[in-house]
């Protein structure tokens, strides 16, 4: 099946991709692909290093006449996301990826393809193996575990690399040149509270917010999508202000990097206010649906009567936490002053759990500027600490601040326009790339990201464009020729 892949042009790239895809390489189980890459470097006779966390570095001298150019680091990650369709029988731990061609696309048979970031790895392998491609001195950096923690990039120590320019081959649109990304930090607020016996005159209601689109909490945070946790808090706050609503429990959201789609709450209200409560809630729900009808046409709020909960939150804690959730910023905090349309800093109020005397609220704060990320994280920290919460800041990873004046950006922008007759889209993304982390130990290294067009990454619909791969390969070869002198 993979024989048709090996016949594609450029053969150097596709043959190395086929070789790589024969090796099982799930995140956190990279032992076989690490050994494969070390063996590859050793057979070529190049200095090959495995660092203490499992990253592999292969160093190749410059070709004749290119010795005076800046040493470059070519970087991609070895691991791949392993997903398959429900009706596909496949063992990622023992089998190589089965590929086929459909029109202009290379696809896998019912699984992820591994083009993210396998095409980048294959590119570097092909250049290392070539005896005809012109290039400066190369330090090939193959990191591990990018998909589930970026622990390879985090574990790479300073001093192992001497290159002045890093080419990250992990962008998935061939007309895009990446110059920045966001870092992130988890903000987690917790506290305990005393539960009270629910008074006899109270009745119970179950409130469900659902039907929201959800989405990526970085790439889509600016789109105005509804956040179920914020909508739920708005309903609960109004219910308390007008009808003495008391909270028994809340369960809203899921992953930190996902905009919350659903939230559930069990509450109690005074029986005497039941009719007015239903009328008021109906009017408020309609108002929210009207506000969000363009972005969230399927937003639904279901309010149904249930058995009265036995316990409710301490009143003072409830007042404090609902005010804190109202005050906690969700969405865009600051737009970039350097790149039009780029979100610089944002927050996602991702998870709210209140139950049985314990509160836990989880946020993910992102920014491409470290000081701005810290500023927003501290804003959230102060907001929740004012209500008696303990706040933990964890999982901190740095952003990659765009440098619009870098020499390598000028090289790539000029070459792209010369080759293709149009300008490249120079962009930064509001998600994570390894460049920001690598820059911690190599702050003077100029970095740039680009790659071939890949669609549906992280899913069994993943596919790589054949025509784009050829365009990208030619671009890489021209870049290597134009690396600046030392």
Q: Mention every residue, 6+ apart, whose C-beta is less than 8 A from residue 461.
A: 455
Of the candidates 400, 401, 257, 427, the one whose C-alpha atom is nearest the C-alpha of residue 342 is 427
Q: Is the dihedral of CA 265, 266, 270, 276 positive or negative?
A: positive
Residue with tokens 């629910």: 198
User: How many angstroms separate the Cα of 235 from the Cα of each of 169, 326, 424?
Assistant: 46, 11, 46
Return the bridge partners of 390, or none: 190
Give the list of residues 6+ apart from residue 111 with CB closer than 8 angstroms, or none.
Answer: 82, 83, 84, 85, 88, 90, 92, 97, 98, 460
| CA separation for the pair 74, 447 (Å, rounded) | 10
How many DSSP H helices and E strands does the chain contain? 12, 25
What angle (nearest 5°) sits at the alpha carbon of residue 197, between those of residues 301 and 232?
20
- Tokens 């009328």 belong to residue: 279
User: Please, are residues 19 and 103 in contact by the beta-carbon 8 Å criterion?
Assistant: no
CA distance 38 to 47: 10
Helix or strand holding residue 412 (H, E): helix 407-420
CA-to-CA distance for 121 and 77, rounded, in angstroms?
7
Task: Kindly give the interhelix angle for 466-481 and 115-129, rounded to the nearest 10 degrees.
Answer: 40
Q: Which residues are annotated as catalytic?
A: 79, 146
Tell me the torsion sign for CA atoms 199, 202, 208, 209. Answer: negative
Is residue 202 within 8 Å of 270, Cβ to Cβ?
yes
Q: What's the number of CA atoms in the CB half-sphere (13 Å) around residue 70?
A: 21
| Calpha distance 386→79 (Å, rounded) | 43
* Cα 161 to Cα 158: distance, rounded to the nearest angstrom: 7
Q: How far apart are CA 9 and CA 22, in angstroms?
A: 19
List the one residue out of 405, 406, 415 whose CA is nearest residue 482: 415
């Amino acid at each position: 099946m993979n024989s048709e892949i090996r016949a594609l042009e450029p053969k150097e790239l596709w043959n190395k991709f086929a070789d790589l895809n024969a090796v099982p390489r799930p995140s956190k189980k990279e032992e076989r692909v690490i050994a494969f890459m070390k063996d590859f470097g050793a057979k070529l006779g190049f200095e090959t290093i495995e660092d203490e966390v499992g990253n592999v570095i292969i160093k190749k001298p410059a070709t004749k006449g290119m010795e005076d150019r800046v040493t470059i680091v070519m970087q991609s990650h070895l691991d791949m996301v392993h997903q398959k369709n429900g009706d596909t029988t496949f063992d990622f731990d023992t089998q190589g990826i089965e590929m086929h061609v459909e029109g202009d696309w290379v696809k896998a048979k019912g699984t992820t393809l591994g083009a993210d970031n396998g095409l980048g790895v294959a590119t570097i392998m092909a250049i290392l193996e070539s005896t005809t491609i012109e290039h400066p001195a190369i330090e090939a950096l193959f990191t591990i575990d990018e998909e589930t923690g970026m622990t390879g990039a985090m574990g790479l120590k300073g001093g192992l690399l001497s290159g002045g320019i890093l080419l990250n081959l992990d962008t998935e649109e061939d007309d895009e040149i990446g110059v920045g990304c966001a870092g992130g930090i988890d903000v987690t607020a917790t506290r305990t509270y005393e539960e009270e016996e629910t008074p006899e005159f109270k009745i119970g209601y179950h409130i469900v917010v659902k039907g929201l689109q959800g989405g990526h909490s970085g790439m889509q945070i600016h789109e105005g999508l509804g956040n179920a946790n914020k909508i739920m808090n708005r309903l609960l706050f109004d219910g308390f202000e007008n009808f003495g609503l008391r909270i028994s429990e809340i369960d809203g959201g899921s992953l930190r990097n996902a905009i919350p789609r659903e939230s559930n709450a069990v509450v109690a209200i005074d029986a005497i206010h039941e009719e007015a409560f239903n009328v008021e809630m109906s009017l408020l729900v309609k108002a929210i649906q009207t506000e969000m009808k363009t972005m969230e046409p399927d937003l639904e709020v279901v309010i149904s009567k249930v058995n009265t909960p036995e316990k409710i939150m301490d009143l003072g804690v409830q007042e404090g936490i609902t005010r804190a959730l109202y005050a906690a910023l969700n969405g865009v905090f600051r737009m970039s002053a350097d790149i039009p349309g780029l979100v610089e800093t944002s927050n996602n109020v991702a998870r709210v759990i209140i139950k049985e005397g314990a509160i836990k609220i989880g946020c993910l704060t992102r920014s491409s500027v470290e000081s701005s990320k810290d500023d927003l994280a501290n804003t959230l920290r102060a907001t929740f600490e004012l209500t008696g919460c303990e706040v933990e800041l964890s999982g901190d990873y740095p952003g990659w601040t765009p440098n619009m004046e870098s020499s390598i950006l000028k090289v790539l922008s000029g070459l792209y326009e010369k080759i293709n007759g149009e300008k490249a889209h120079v962009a930064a993304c509001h998600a994570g790339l390894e460049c920001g982390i690598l820059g911690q130990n190599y702050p003077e290294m100029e970095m740039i990201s680009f790659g071939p067009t890949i669609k549906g990454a992280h899913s069994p619909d993943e596919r790589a464009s054949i025509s784009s791969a050829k365009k990208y390969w030619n671009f890489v070869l021209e870049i290597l020729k134009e690396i600046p002198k030392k």
